[in-house]
Amino acid sequence: MKLLWVTFGLLCVGLAFIGIVLPLLPTVPFLLLAAFCFARSSERLHNWLVTHPKLGPPILDWQTRGAITPKAKKLATLSVAVVFTLSLILGLKPFVLVIQAITLGCVMLFIWTRPN
């Protein structure tokens, strides 16, 4: 079972690294998921991730205070706006747009109600 947790954790770290360059792929949620997986499988990988100078602080902020930095909130908002604008440009059906607007609105509400 530990091999499965390590594999999934490494996959999440890989997706997080891709998310650093692709603005629509979230980085921090994948890092949080990787930390969760590594905590169940590899103390060495978990310690590496949470003590990493660039990747560790958002994980520790979330684990200790449930906090999201203002910069991350702004980037998430920008990503949501880009995705929804793209959906409008592509002319998706109104039903899909309504579902997307409700879902993205709930995501934004959650993000902006977290402490800084």
Q: Find the domain containing 59 and state its range.
A: 2-65
User: Is there a contact between 41 and 5 (Cβ–Cβ < 8 Å)?
Assistant: yes
Looking at the structure, tell me whether residues 61 and 11 fall in a common domain: yes
Looking at the structure, tell me whether residues 55 and 97 fall in a common domain: no
Q: For position 24, what pLDDT does the model report?
A: 67
Does the predicted TM-score (pTM) go above 0.75?
no
DSSP summary character for residue 53: T
Looking at the structure, tell me whether residues 43 and 88 fall in a common domain: no
Q: For position 79, what pLDDT does the model report?
A: 82
Looking at the structure, tell me whether residues 46 and 94 fall in a common domain: no
Within the chain, which residues score under 70 in pLDDT? Answer: 23-24
Q: For position 27, what pLDDT does the model report?
A: 82
Looking at the structure, tell me whether residues 6 and 29 fall in a common domain: yes
Beta carbons within 8 Å of 86's beta carbon, 6+ residues apart: none
55, burial (CB in 10 Å: exposed 0-12, middle 13-18, buried 19+):
buried
Looking at the structure, tell me whether residues 58 and 74 fall in a common domain: no
